[in-house]
Amino acid sequence: MARITILLLAAPMIGANAVFKVYGKVDVGIAAHVEELLTKQQALWSH
| Greater pLDDT, 15 or 1 | 15
What's the pLDDT score for residue 26?
A: 60
Q: State the pTM of this model.
A: 0.34
Give residue-wise pLDDT tens across range 12-23. 777 777 777 776
CA distances from 26 to 13, 16, 17, 19, 21 (A): 19, 15, 14, 11, 9
Taking each helix axis from N to C end, the angle separating 2-23 and 28-46, rounded to the nearest 10 degrees, works out to 170
* pLDDT, position 6: 67
First to last CA, the chain: 16
Picking from 19, 17, 16, 7, the residue whose alpha carbon sits closest to that of residue 45 is 7
- At 20-43, the pLDDT tens digits run 777 656 666 777 788 888 888 888
pLDDT at 16: 75
Q: 27 — phi, psi (to 5°)? A: -150, 105
